Amino acid sequence: MSKGFHRRNGALHCDGVALARVARDFGTPAWVYSQTVLEQRWRLFEKATADLDPTICYALKANSNQAVIATFAALGAGADIVSAGELARALAAGVPAKKIVFAGVGKSEAEMAMALEAGILQFNVESAPELARLSAVAQAMNTTASVAIRVNPDVDAKTHRKITTGKSENKFGVELAQARELAIAARRLKGVRIEALSTHIGSQITDVTPYRAAFRRVADLAKALRADGVALKRLDFGGGLGVVYRDETPPDLKAYAAAVRAAMKGTGFGLVLEPGRWLVADAGLLLARVEYVKQGTAKRYAILDAAMNDLIRPTLYEAWMPIEPVAKPRAGRKLPYDIVGPVCESGDFFAHDRQMPKLAEGDLVAVRQAGAYGSVMSSTYNARPLAPELLVKGTKIAEIRGRQSVEALIALDQLAPWQAGKSRRGK
């Protein structure tokens, strides 16, 4: 049986399940994930880096559905988190606390306390004020926090400006010179123990060169700190490895692992890696239906029942997403379509002037490579309930998040006490 997303007799399937059946049984729009692909991607990454013996922490921000996290946890994954909510999700899905790394520039006292109580592996601290706050919180709890200072190596990852994180003008991390000073000064702080350096230079990285530069700078700093008497145990090289959406040529795993290996050589440090997008993007798609085909003077529109509230990447990042019919594509020449949604915004689009086989009202389409930063970034704008998430393995399919009802959406709100009993006219 073919695995992952493929065509059988011209029709798109996920493992052994026809996507037309998914639409019939669960409706559209809907997110569909292949557990087989999730597992395959994990094993490929694990194999490529096996000789480095890393702690691999899945970056939950890419896709934080409990079933997705649990899939990786069962394979031995840790978690890279950026909020108390993600910490709770990771623990609930079975990720051991000692494999959890807490990143992010704005951790609150409550979040720090929750992570200390859980006993996580490390806090990736991003500023001197954060380190001071963590010290105070840990002392109040009569415990010690394991800390990695996140270093901003001032390396341009050559990715989209909204997802680059390793340049000096970005809000993330501590600049190289300041990081050394902070690590040395931190030895005088109670409640914290500097055990690591970390870095993360961006997402959807398609060239290994920035990795080499960033890893080398952080490794050199770690060696200098060791000479200064700072007892570091490990380096955390983050994630960000790119995938193919259109015509990108991201580094293959061999080249990526070689960059890590070169920086780690002879250091004796342990290693943490934090893949996210690379593990989940190819494992998911957004299934949608064409509501209308609208012909204008200059444009032809395919209006879907999915919208920017479901998948915001095209409008937020100008992201190019692969889109294809679910049924066997119609014969004949392709036609240009603006593929859009029903939300009342001109920014509600999936593609402009996309060459597609002829589309008709009622056709199903799949937005591919949507397993990362898709459902996890969705909203209920225009009072559109959240779409369901479905997990497929072989011929089995399960709803791993149900379709939100309008009633459930409205029930999240409540009237103020002085509004109770008022009529719709306010009389």
Coil, helix or strand for 21?
helix
Q: Is the separation of the CB atoms in 244 and 250 below 8 Å?
A: yes
For 326-380, the DSSP string reads SSPPPSS--EEEEEE-SSSSTT-EEEEEEEES---TT-EEEE-S-SSSSGGG---
Q: Which amino acid is at 400?
A: I
Q: Is the separation of the CB atoms in 239 and 59 below 8 Å?
A: yes
Residue whose tokens read 């970056």: 59
Coil, helix or strand for 325?
strand
Ordered alpha helix ranges (H), 228-311: 253-264, 277-280
Contacts of 232 (CB under 8 A, 6+ apart): 194, 195, 196, 197, 222, 225, 226, 269
Q: What share of the chain is helix, strand, coil (3-state, %, to 5)?
A: 35, 25, 40
User: Is there a cis peptide before residue 275, judged by omega within 30 degrees of 0?
Assistant: no
Coil, helix or strand for 88?
helix
344 is an active site residue: yes
Q: What DSSP character marks residue 31? A: E
Strands of 250-322 (E only): list them: 270-273, 284-295, 300-304
Q: Which of 344, 411, 412, 416 is catalytic?
A: 344
Q: CA-based angle 252:234:51, to the nearest 5?
A: 40
Q: Are strands 145-152 and 122-125 parallel, antiparallel or unpaired?
A: parallel
Q: Is the separation of the CB atoms in 337 and 409 below 8 Å?
A: no
Question: Which residues are catalytically annotated?
Answer: 344
